[in-house]
Amino acid sequence: MHRLIIADDSPVYRLRLSQIFAASDSLQLVGLAGDGQEAVRLMRERRPDVLVLDLEMPVLDGFSVLRWAMKHAPLPVVVCSGRSEHESVFQALEAGAVDFISKPELRFAIRSQNFAEHLRSKVEAAAVAHAHATLPRGTDERAAIAAVNHVRETKSTRERVCLVAIVGSAGSPAAVAHVLSNLDKNFRVPVIIALHMPQGFTSSFAERLSRNSPFSVTEARDGEALAEKEIYIAPGGQHTSVNRDKFGELRFRIEASDASDFYAPSADRLLQTMAEACGAQSLAVVLTGMGEDGLRGARAVRERGGHIIVESRETAVIWGMPRAVSEAGLADAELTPAAIAAALPLLCIDSQ
């Protein structure tokens, strides 16, 4: 059993979260904190394996608690906050949180089984994550060159890459930022990034990436044609696919998700449609994240002769999505985000 502490200043919300985790077979609640100072005291005394943290609390706010934890007692932290559309969530992820979930209004949180299941699964996955995983600075050119040489040796033909799709979940925002900040600024192949994010979050994520990388990063729009040197973010809470129009041009299709969809945007849907539209010209990158979303899509890419890279277990916060693809024998290489940044231009060299 993994030891859990909940830090939230609302007594009613603490009760609801306690009820949600009482249904878990792998989590044991060992402490409830109503403010940041109490959260720090409980972490010192009870040494939890995972922390669920609100960002807005009295005495010490969630950021102060997070900074203290990463410095003195590193552990996986899942942010459960109502401030999901602001820079605060990005700052929490950069400070070491492994995942986040939007905190709904209490009346919704009490009734919603969907919220309960999502939160429980995120925290159960986080409990076994790498706490405060650090990403190496710069690029890893030797690993990238070795991976690219292996791909070229094992592929009977080489096709011009027309699209790169990057998918992931918990821990992926930091990994994506690392890849883009280290990617050659002259990289021309369009890139579509689909991470498991809620609606209203991805536009802010795109703006942040644009500010901190040499690329133009925008949220994908329904019917939009893909352009060279553009980076697109799949809208949160919806499904993004790519298709060819009657003129052979690649375009996005954005569709609403169903209440029964556990992952939105779906990595499988994006990768499968990319494989259908681009065949051997597809390049898929599977980053850190829980579960197996992306496995069916990666299989479709492989069946059509495309390339697949997964993030290495050394840097992945949660080696779930990459592991599923790797253990199925579908990955051409396992690389750190630094090496992925170096490998993409090499794999797409004929497309530049």
Tokens of 348: 């797409």
Q: Which amino acid is at 55?
A: L
Residue 62 included in any domain: yes
Both 177 and 271 in one domain: the answer is: yes
Cis? peptide before 265, omega within 30° of 0: yes
Residue 85 pLDDT exceeds 90: no
Active site residue 2: no
The phi and psi torsions of 80 (rounded to 5 degrees) equal -120, 100
d(CA 348, CA 88): 35
The active-site residue out of 132, 196, 239, 307 is 196
Of residues 160 and 18, more confidence is placed in 18
Which residues in 283-310 are b (16+ Cβ under 10 Å) and which e? bbbbbbbbbbbbbbbbbbbbebbbbbbb
d(CA 24, CA 124): 8
Active site residue 150: no
Report pLDDT digits (tens) over 182-232. 999 999 999 999 999 888 889 989 999 999 899 999 999 999 999 999 999
Side-chain-facing half-sphere of 21: CA atoms under 13 Å: 27
CB-based burial of residue 316 (10 Å sphere; 0-12 exposed, 13-18 middle, 19+ buried)?
buried
Task: Pick the closest to residue 271 from 282, 258, 280 (CA basis).
Answer: 282
**Residue 64: strand, helix, or coil:** helix
Helix axis angle, 337-347 to 172-182, nearest 10°: 50
Both 189 and 77 in one domain: the answer is: no
Secondary element (H or E) of residue 13: helix 11-22
Both 103 and 42 in one domain: the answer is: yes
Could you count the other beta carbons within 10 Å of the beta carbon of residue 228? Answer: 11
| pLDDT of res. 132 | 46
Both 40 and 154 in one domain: the answer is: no
Residue 56 included in any domain: yes
State which of 126, 157, 188 marks the end of a domain. Answer: 126
Q: Which amino acid is at 69?
A: A
Active site residue 261: no
Note whether 143 and 314 are within 8 A (CB): no
Cα 87-88-89 angle, rounded to 5 deg: 95
Residue 64 included in any domain: yes
Both 166 and 259 in one domain: the answer is: yes
Distances in whole angstroms, Cα of residue 137 to Cα of each of 167, 179, 318, 337: 21, 10, 20, 10
Number of helices (H), then strands (E), belonging to the chain: the values are 13, 14
The pLDDT-based confidence of 81 (bands split at 50, 70, 90) is: confident
Domain with 194, as residue range(s), is: 141-351
**Residue 103: strand, helix, or coil:** coil
State which of 92, 126, 160 marks the end of a domain. Answer: 126
Q: What is the mean pLDDT of residues 136-147?
A: 67
The pLDDT-based confidence of 138 (bands split at 50, 70, 90) is: low
Residue 133 pLDDT exceeds 50: no
| pLDDT of res. 305 | 94
| pLDDT of res. 155 | 67
Computed over every residue of the chain, the mean pLDDT equals 90
Specify the number of domains making up the chain.
2
The pLDDT-based confidence of 102 (bands split at 50, 70, 90) is: confident
Residue 133 included in any domain: no
The active-site residue out of 8, 9, 293, 332 is 293
d(CA 296, CA 315): 23
Q: What is the mean pLDDT of residues 341-349?
A: 89
Residue 140 pLDDT exceeds 90: no
Find residue 251's DSSP bridge partners: 225, 243
Task: Pick the closest to residue 190 from 167, 215, 212 (CA basis).
Answer: 215
Q: pLDDT exceeding 70 applies to what percent of the chain?
A: 93
Of residues 89 and 274, more confidence is placed in 274
Residue 116 pLDDT exceeds 80: yes
Both 222 and 98 in one domain: the answer is: no
The CATH number given to whatever domain includes residue 273 is 3.40.50.180
Both 105 and 229 in one domain: the answer is: no
State which of 98, 126, 154 marks the end of a domain. Answer: 126
The pLDDT-based confidence of 175 (bands split at 50, 70, 90) is: very high
Report pLDDT digits (tens) over 291-308. 999 999 999 999 999 999
- Report, in angstroms and rounded to the nearest whole number, the Rg of the chain calculated over CA atoms: 20
Both 122 and 238 in one domain: the answer is: no
Task: Pick the closest to residue 100 from 1, 16, 187, 172 (CA basis).
Answer: 172
The active-site residue out of 84, 102, 169, 312 is 169
The CATH number given to whatever domain includes residue 10 is 3.40.50.2300
Both 274 and 145 in one domain: the answer is: yes
Both 148 and 226 in one domain: the answer is: yes
Both 66 and 206 in one domain: the answer is: no
Q: pLDDT exceeding 90 applies to what percent of the chain?
A: 72
Of residues 148 and 247, more confidence is placed in 247
Both 214 and 330 in one domain: the answer is: yes
Threshold 0.75, pTM exceeds: yes
Segment among 1-5, 85-89, 126-130 with least mean pLDDT: 85-89
